Structure 1
Amino acid sequence: MTTRIQRRNRRKILDAALEVFSAQGFRGATLDQIAGVAGLSKPNLLYYFDSKEAMHRALLDELLDIWLAPLRAMNPEGDGRAEIMAYMRRKLQMSREYPRESRLFANEVLQGAPRLGDEISGDLKTLVDETAALIRRWIKAGQIARIDPYHLIFSIWALTQHYADFDAQIRMIRDGADPMDGAEPYLEELFDRLLKP
Protein backbone atom coordinates (compact mmCIF):
# COMPACT_ATOMS: atom_id res chain seq x y z
CA MET A 1 0.00 0.00 0.00
CA THR A 2 1.37 3.40 -0.97
CA THR A 3 1.70 6.08 1.67
CA ARG A 4 0.51 9.66 1.39
CA ILE A 5 4.13 10.80 0.95
CA GLN A 6 4.69 8.27 -1.84
CA ARG A 7 1.52 9.42 -3.63
CA ARG A 8 2.58 13.06 -3.21
CA ASN A 9 6.09 12.37 -4.53
CA ARG A 10 4.75 10.39 -7.46
CA ARG A 11 2.41 13.28 -8.36
CA LYS A 12 5.24 15.79 -7.94
CA ILE A 13 7.42 13.75 -10.33
CA LEU A 14 4.65 13.43 -12.91
CA ASP A 15 3.93 17.17 -12.74
CA ALA A 16 7.63 17.91 -13.25
CA ALA A 17 7.84 15.38 -16.08
CA LEU A 18 4.82 16.97 -17.75
CA GLU A 19 6.49 20.37 -17.54
CA VAL A 20 9.73 19.09 -19.07
CA PHE A 21 8.19 16.80 -21.71
CA SER A 22 5.72 19.45 -22.89
CA ALA A 23 8.56 21.95 -23.32
CA GLN A 24 11.37 19.69 -24.56
CA GLY A 25 9.59 16.73 -26.14
CA PHE A 26 10.44 13.16 -25.23
CA ARG A 27 13.86 13.17 -26.89
CA GLY A 28 14.93 16.51 -25.44
CA ALA A 29 13.85 15.72 -21.88
CA THR A 30 16.34 14.26 -19.42
CA LEU A 31 15.99 12.65 -16.02
CA ASP A 32 18.23 15.38 -14.59
CA GLN A 33 15.86 18.09 -15.88
CA ILE A 34 12.82 16.30 -14.44
CA ALA A 35 14.57 15.76 -11.09
CA GLY A 36 15.52 19.44 -10.99
CA VAL A 37 11.96 20.63 -11.64
CA ALA A 38 10.60 18.12 -9.10
CA GLY A 39 13.17 19.19 -6.51
CA LEU A 40 14.22 15.57 -5.98
CA SER A 41 17.41 13.66 -6.57
CA LYS A 42 17.73 11.48 -9.66
CA PRO A 43 17.94 8.27 -7.53
CA ASN A 44 14.74 9.36 -5.73
CA LEU A 45 13.09 9.83 -9.13
CA LEU A 46 14.16 6.34 -10.19
CA TYR A 47 12.72 4.87 -6.99
CA TYR A 48 9.24 5.82 -8.25
CA PHE A 49 9.77 5.36 -12.00
CA ASP A 50 12.45 3.09 -13.41
CA SER A 51 12.98 5.18 -16.55
CA LYS A 52 12.12 8.32 -18.48
CA GLU A 53 9.91 6.08 -20.67
CA ALA A 54 7.91 4.93 -17.62
CA MET A 55 7.18 8.56 -16.62
CA HIS A 56 6.22 9.48 -20.18
CA ARG A 57 3.95 6.43 -20.47
CA ALA A 58 2.22 7.22 -17.16
CA LEU A 59 1.53 10.76 -18.36
CA LEU A 60 0.19 9.56 -21.72
CA ASP A 61 -2.10 7.04 -20.01
CA GLU A 62 -3.54 9.79 -17.78
CA LEU A 63 -3.86 12.11 -20.76
CA LEU A 64 -5.81 9.67 -22.93
CA ASP A 65 -8.53 9.34 -20.30
CA ILE A 66 -8.82 13.13 -20.09
CA TRP A 67 -8.64 13.62 -23.86
CA LEU A 68 -11.32 11.07 -24.76
CA ALA A 69 -13.84 12.16 -22.11
CA PRO A 70 -15.42 15.03 -24.13
CA LEU A 71 -15.94 12.81 -27.17
CA ARG A 72 -17.52 10.14 -24.98
CA ALA A 73 -19.78 12.81 -23.42
CA MET A 74 -21.63 13.47 -26.69
CA ASN A 75 -25.26 12.42 -26.21
CA PRO A 76 -26.54 10.30 -29.13
CA GLU A 77 -30.11 11.28 -28.21
CA GLY A 78 -29.33 15.01 -28.12
CA ASP A 79 -29.66 17.58 -30.87
CA GLY A 80 -26.74 17.11 -33.27
CA ARG A 81 -25.83 20.76 -33.65
CA ALA A 82 -26.04 21.42 -29.92
CA GLU A 83 -23.96 18.31 -29.10
CA ILE A 84 -21.20 19.18 -31.57
CA MET A 85 -21.08 22.78 -30.36
CA ALA A 86 -20.86 21.56 -26.75
CA TYR A 87 -18.04 19.21 -27.77
CA MET A 88 -16.16 22.08 -29.40
CA ARG A 89 -16.57 24.20 -26.24
CA ARG A 90 -15.31 21.33 -24.04
CA LYS A 91 -12.25 20.88 -26.28
CA LEU A 92 -11.50 24.61 -26.13
CA GLN A 93 -11.87 24.54 -22.35
CA MET A 94 -9.43 21.62 -22.21
CA SER A 95 -6.89 23.65 -24.18
CA ARG A 96 -7.32 26.38 -21.58
CA GLU A 97 -7.03 24.04 -18.59
CA TYR A 98 -4.52 21.48 -19.93
CA PRO A 99 -2.10 23.25 -22.30
CA ARG A 100 0.91 21.18 -21.23
CA GLU A 101 -1.01 17.94 -21.76
CA SER A 102 -2.04 19.13 -25.23
CA ARG A 103 1.59 19.86 -26.13
CA LEU A 104 2.67 16.47 -24.72
CA PHE A 105 0.14 14.72 -26.96
CA ALA A 106 1.09 16.87 -29.98
CA ASN A 107 4.80 16.07 -29.47
CA GLU A 108 4.02 12.35 -29.30
CA VAL A 109 1.98 12.46 -32.51
CA LEU A 110 4.58 14.61 -34.33
CA GLN A 111 7.13 11.88 -33.60
CA GLY A 112 4.87 9.29 -35.24
CA ALA A 113 3.14 8.22 -31.99
CA PRO A 114 5.75 5.57 -31.07
CA ARG A 115 4.33 5.15 -27.55
CA LEU A 116 0.65 5.76 -28.33
CA GLY A 117 0.20 4.14 -31.73
CA ASP A 118 -1.81 1.18 -30.42
CA GLU A 119 -4.19 3.41 -28.45
CA ILE A 120 -4.67 5.83 -31.35
CA SER A 121 -5.33 3.06 -33.86
CA GLY A 122 -7.38 1.16 -31.26
CA ASP A 123 -9.54 2.95 -28.67
CA LEU A 124 -9.33 6.42 -30.22
CA LYS A 125 -10.08 5.18 -33.74
CA THR A 126 -13.05 3.15 -32.47
CA LEU A 127 -14.44 6.15 -30.62
CA VAL A 128 -13.96 8.45 -33.62
CA ASP A 129 -15.59 5.87 -35.93
CA GLU A 130 -18.59 5.66 -33.57
CA THR A 131 -18.81 9.46 -33.40
CA ALA A 132 -18.61 9.72 -37.21
CA ALA A 133 -21.52 7.27 -37.48
CA LEU A 134 -23.49 9.39 -34.99
CA ILE A 135 -22.75 12.55 -36.98
CA ARG A 136 -23.94 10.80 -40.17
CA ARG A 137 -27.17 9.95 -38.35
CA TRP A 138 -27.63 13.62 -37.40
CA ILE A 139 -26.95 14.62 -41.02
CA LYS A 140 -29.52 12.11 -42.27
CA ALA A 141 -32.06 13.48 -39.76
CA GLY A 142 -31.47 16.99 -41.12
CA GLN A 143 -30.07 18.30 -37.81
CA ILE A 144 -26.76 19.42 -39.32
CA ALA A 145 -25.33 20.21 -42.75
CA ARG A 146 -23.91 17.53 -45.02
CA ILE A 147 -20.24 17.53 -44.02
CA ASP A 148 -17.53 14.92 -43.69
CA PRO A 149 -17.73 13.69 -40.08
CA TYR A 150 -14.04 12.86 -39.80
CA HIS A 151 -12.88 16.21 -41.10
CA LEU A 152 -15.33 17.93 -38.77
CA ILE A 153 -13.76 16.12 -35.79
CA PHE A 154 -10.23 16.87 -37.06
CA SER A 155 -11.18 20.54 -37.51
CA ILE A 156 -12.47 20.77 -33.96
CA TRP A 157 -9.24 19.23 -32.68
CA ALA A 158 -7.06 21.51 -34.80
CA LEU A 159 -8.91 24.74 -34.08
CA THR A 160 -9.23 24.23 -30.34
CA GLN A 161 -5.87 22.64 -29.53
CA HIS A 162 -4.03 25.27 -31.58
CA TYR A 163 -4.53 27.68 -28.67
CA ALA A 164 -2.59 25.37 -26.35
CA ASP A 165 -0.01 23.97 -28.77
CA PHE A 166 0.91 27.33 -30.32
CA ASP A 167 0.37 29.54 -27.28
CA ALA A 168 3.78 31.22 -27.65
CA GLN A 169 3.16 32.10 -31.30
CA ILE A 170 -0.27 33.58 -30.58
CA ARG A 171 1.09 35.63 -27.66
CA MET A 172 3.88 37.05 -29.84
CA ILE A 173 1.51 37.98 -32.65
CA ARG A 174 -1.05 39.46 -30.26
CA ASP A 175 1.47 41.44 -28.20
CA GLY A 176 1.19 39.19 -25.16
CA ALA A 177 -2.62 39.07 -25.08
CA ASP A 178 -4.33 35.99 -23.71
CA PRO A 179 -4.43 33.55 -26.65
CA MET A 180 -7.97 32.52 -25.71
CA ASP A 181 -9.31 36.09 -25.76
CA GLY A 182 -12.15 36.08 -28.30
CA ALA A 183 -11.56 32.47 -29.34
CA GLU A 184 -14.85 30.99 -28.10
CA PRO A 185 -17.24 33.43 -29.83
CA TYR A 186 -15.21 33.18 -33.03
CA LEU A 187 -15.25 29.36 -33.02
CA GLU A 188 -18.93 29.28 -32.06
CA GLU A 189 -19.83 31.42 -35.06
CA LEU A 190 -17.56 29.45 -37.38
CA PHE A 191 -18.90 26.04 -36.38
CA ASP A 192 -22.50 27.25 -36.13
CA ARG A 193 -22.36 28.43 -39.73
CA LEU A 194 -20.66 25.22 -40.83
CA LEU A 195 -23.24 23.01 -39.11
CA LYS A 196 -26.37 24.90 -40.12
CA PRO A 197 -28.50 22.64 -42.36
Structure 2
Amino acid sequence: MSCHTLEGVKEAILSKGYKWFENGDYNLNLVGIRNSETENLVTNKFDDCVTVSYKVDGEWNFHCFKATTDPGTHWTENLLNKDGVAILVPDQYRGSHTIGLHQGKYKALRQKKPLKVYRDKNKDGVYDLLEENIHEGIYGINIHRATAHGESKQVDKWSAGCQVLAKTADFDKLMELAQKSSDMYGNSFTYTLIESKDI
Protein backbone atom coordinates (compact mmCIF):
# COMPACT_ATOMS: atom_id res chain seq x y z
CA MET A 1 0.00 0.00 0.00
CA SER A 2 1.35 3.40 -0.92
CA CYS A 3 1.61 5.87 1.91
CA HIS A 4 -0.59 8.88 2.35
CA THR A 5 -0.47 12.68 2.60
CA LEU A 6 -1.16 15.03 5.46
CA GLU A 7 -4.00 16.63 3.49
CA GLY A 8 -5.66 13.29 2.79
CA VAL A 9 -5.42 12.15 6.40
CA LYS A 10 -6.71 15.46 7.77
CA GLU A 11 -9.66 15.47 5.36
CA ALA A 12 -10.60 11.91 6.34
CA ILE A 13 -10.40 12.72 10.05
CA LEU A 14 -12.55 15.83 9.75
CA SER A 15 -15.09 14.09 7.49
CA LYS A 16 -15.76 11.62 10.30
CA GLY A 17 -16.28 14.39 12.83
CA TYR A 18 -13.12 13.48 14.73
CA LYS A 19 -10.84 15.96 16.48
CA TRP A 20 -7.84 17.27 14.52
CA PHE A 21 -5.20 18.87 16.75
CA GLU A 22 -3.65 22.06 15.35
CA ASN A 23 -3.00 24.35 18.32
CA GLY A 24 0.67 24.67 19.26
CA ASP A 25 3.85 22.82 18.36
CA TYR A 26 4.13 19.03 18.70
CA ASN A 27 0.40 18.59 19.32
CA LEU A 28 0.39 15.17 17.68
CA ASN A 29 -2.27 13.69 15.43
CA LEU A 30 -1.57 9.94 15.63
CA VAL A 31 -3.56 8.23 12.90
CA GLY A 32 -3.34 4.58 11.93
CA ILE A 33 -4.51 3.65 8.43
CA ARG A 34 -5.63 0.06 7.87
CA ASN A 35 -5.18 -1.24 4.33
CA SER A 36 -8.65 -1.78 2.84
CA GLU A 37 -7.20 -3.54 -0.23
CA THR A 38 -6.45 -6.73 1.73
CA GLU A 39 -10.20 -7.39 2.23
CA ASN A 40 -9.76 -8.57 5.85
CA LEU A 41 -7.34 -11.37 4.91
CA VAL A 42 -4.63 -12.20 7.43
CA THR A 43 -1.63 -11.11 5.34
CA ASN A 44 0.99 -11.27 8.13
CA LYS A 45 2.61 -8.21 6.50
CA PHE A 46 3.34 -4.64 7.53
CA ASP A 47 0.91 -3.34 4.93
CA ASP A 48 -0.75 -0.58 6.98
CA CYS A 49 0.53 2.84 8.11
CA VAL A 50 0.82 4.84 11.30
CA THR A 51 0.98 8.56 10.53
CA VAL A 52 1.98 11.53 12.66
CA SER A 53 0.93 15.09 11.79
CA TYR A 54 1.98 18.11 13.87
CA LYS A 55 3.16 21.70 13.68
CA VAL A 56 6.57 23.19 14.47
CA ASP A 57 6.80 26.99 14.40
CA GLY A 58 3.48 27.07 12.58
CA GLU A 59 4.64 24.72 9.80
CA TRP A 60 3.04 21.31 9.37
CA ASN A 61 5.18 18.17 9.53
CA PHE A 62 4.05 14.71 8.44
CA HIS A 63 5.45 11.20 8.82
CA CYS A 64 3.99 8.01 7.38
CA PHE A 65 5.46 4.87 8.96
CA LYS A 66 5.10 1.31 7.65
CA ALA A 67 3.16 -0.63 10.27
CA THR A 68 0.50 -3.21 11.02
CA THR A 69 -2.81 -2.43 12.71
CA ASP A 70 -3.74 -6.13 12.70
CA PRO A 71 -2.50 -9.19 14.59
CA GLY A 72 -0.04 -11.51 12.89
CA THR A 73 -0.62 -15.09 11.79
CA HIS A 74 0.84 -16.60 14.97
CA TRP A 75 -1.71 -15.07 17.32
CA THR A 76 -4.66 -15.63 14.98
CA GLU A 77 -3.85 -19.35 15.18
CA ASN A 78 -2.64 -19.50 18.81
CA LEU A 79 -5.26 -17.60 20.78
CA LEU A 80 -4.30 -15.71 23.93
CA ASN A 81 -7.96 -15.05 24.78
CA LYS A 82 -10.80 -17.59 24.66
CA ASP A 83 -12.98 -15.03 22.84
CA GLY A 84 -10.44 -14.74 20.04
CA VAL A 85 -7.62 -12.55 18.78
CA ALA A 86 -8.06 -8.75 19.08
CA ILE A 87 -8.43 -6.48 16.03
CA LEU A 88 -8.80 -2.79 16.91
CA VAL A 89 -12.09 -1.24 15.75
CA PRO A 90 -11.59 1.90 13.62
CA ASP A 91 -12.53 4.95 15.72
CA GLN A 92 -10.99 7.92 17.49
CA TYR A 93 -9.88 7.09 21.02
CA ARG A 94 -9.33 10.30 22.98
CA GLY A 95 -6.56 10.15 25.58
CA SER A 96 -6.19 6.43 24.98
CA HIS A 97 -2.42 6.03 25.30
CA THR A 98 0.45 7.09 27.51
CA ILE A 99 4.24 6.71 27.41
CA GLY A 100 5.11 3.61 29.41
CA LEU A 101 6.87 0.28 29.13
CA HIS A 102 5.77 -2.27 26.56
CA GLN A 103 5.82 -5.67 28.30
CA GLY A 104 8.07 -4.06 30.91
CA LYS A 105 10.92 -3.83 28.38
CA TYR A 106 11.12 -0.48 26.56
CA LYS A 107 9.23 2.80 26.26
CA ALA A 108 6.26 2.73 23.91
CA LEU A 109 2.74 4.14 23.83
CA ARG A 110 0.68 2.00 26.20
CA GLN A 111 -3.08 1.68 26.26
CA LYS A 112 -4.52 3.45 29.32
CA LYS A 113 -8.24 3.72 28.49
CA PRO A 114 -10.72 1.13 27.19
CA LEU A 115 -10.60 0.44 23.46
CA LYS A 116 -13.00 -1.47 21.22
CA VAL A 117 -11.76 -4.62 19.52
CA TYR A 118 -13.25 -7.27 17.31
CA ARG A 119 -12.65 -10.80 18.63
CA ASP A 120 -12.03 -13.51 16.04
CA LYS A 121 -11.54 -17.11 17.15
CA ASN A 122 -12.24 -19.36 14.14
CA LYS A 123 -8.65 -19.38 12.82
CA ASP A 124 -9.74 -19.27 9.16
CA GLY A 125 -7.20 -16.73 7.87
CA VAL A 126 -9.80 -13.96 7.61
CA TYR A 127 -10.44 -11.28 10.23
CA ASP A 128 -14.10 -11.46 11.25
CA LEU A 129 -14.96 -7.79 11.72
CA LEU A 130 -18.52 -8.28 12.93
CA GLU A 131 -20.42 -5.94 15.24
CA GLU A 132 -21.54 -8.84 17.45
CA ASN A 133 -17.86 -9.67 18.05
CA ILE A 134 -16.97 -6.24 19.51
CA HIS A 135 -15.60 -6.14 23.05
CA GLU A 136 -14.37 -3.10 24.97
CA GLY A 137 -11.71 -2.96 27.66
CA ILE A 138 -8.04 -2.69 28.58
CA TYR A 139 -6.29 -5.30 26.47
CA GLY A 140 -2.74 -3.96 26.14
CA ILE A 141 -3.34 -2.57 22.64
CA ASN A 142 -0.05 -0.69 22.61
CA ILE A 143 1.76 1.22 19.87
CA HIS A 144 5.26 -0.27 19.70
CA ARG A 145 8.01 -1.51 17.39
CA ALA A 146 8.79 -4.89 15.93
CA THR A 147 12.52 -5.76 15.86
CA ALA A 148 14.97 -3.81 18.02
CA HIS A 149 17.35 -3.49 15.04
CA GLY A 150 16.46 -2.60 11.46
CA GLU A 151 13.17 -3.64 9.86
CA SER A 152 10.82 -6.60 10.31
CA LYS A 153 9.34 -8.05 7.12
CA GLN A 154 6.60 -10.24 8.62
CA VAL A 155 4.29 -9.59 11.57
CA ASP A 156 4.39 -13.14 13.05
CA LYS A 157 4.45 -12.75 16.87
CA TRP A 158 5.02 -8.98 16.87
CA SER A 159 1.32 -8.16 17.10
CA ALA A 160 -1.54 -9.82 18.98
CA GLY A 161 -3.63 -6.72 18.25
CA CYS A 162 -1.11 -3.96 18.92
CA GLN A 163 -0.28 -1.23 16.41
CA VAL A 164 3.30 -2.14 15.44
CA LEU A 165 5.87 -0.18 13.42
CA ALA A 166 8.11 -2.26 11.16
CA LYS A 167 11.25 -0.12 11.36
CA THR A 168 13.25 0.66 14.49
CA ALA A 169 14.23 4.11 13.18
CA ASP A 170 10.58 5.03 12.55
CA PHE A 171 9.60 3.96 16.04
CA ASP A 172 12.48 5.93 17.56
CA LYS A 173 11.25 9.02 15.71
CA LEU A 174 7.70 8.45 16.93
CA MET A 175 8.84 8.19 20.54
CA GLU A 176 11.04 11.29 20.21
CA LEU A 177 7.98 13.23 19.06
CA ALA A 178 5.81 11.68 21.76
CA GLN A 179 8.27 12.74 24.45
CA LYS A 180 8.32 16.32 23.16
CA SER A 181 4.52 16.36 23.10
CA SER A 182 4.35 14.86 26.59
CA ASP A 183 6.69 17.53 27.96
CA MET A 184 4.40 20.24 26.58
CA TYR A 185 0.87 18.84 26.95
CA GLY A 186 1.13 15.96 29.42
CA ASN A 187 1.52 12.23 29.02
CA SER A 188 -1.72 11.50 27.19
CA PHE A 189 -2.21 10.72 23.50
CA THR A 190 -5.24 10.31 21.27
CA TYR A 191 -5.03 7.50 18.72
CA THR A 192 -7.30 7.35 15.69
CA LEU A 193 -7.66 4.34 13.40
CA ILE A 194 -9.22 4.76 9.96
CA GLU A 195 -9.21 2.66 6.78
CA SER A 196 -7.43 3.50 3.54
CA LYS A 197 -10.79 3.57 1.73
CA ASP A 198 -11.70 6.58 3.93
CA ILE A 199 -9.03 8.69 2.22
Q: With structure 1 as the length reference, what TM-score do the two structures score?
A: 0.26
**Structure-2-length-normalised TM-score:** 0.26
Higher strand share: 2
Higher helix proportion, which one? 1
* Greater C-alpha Rg: 1
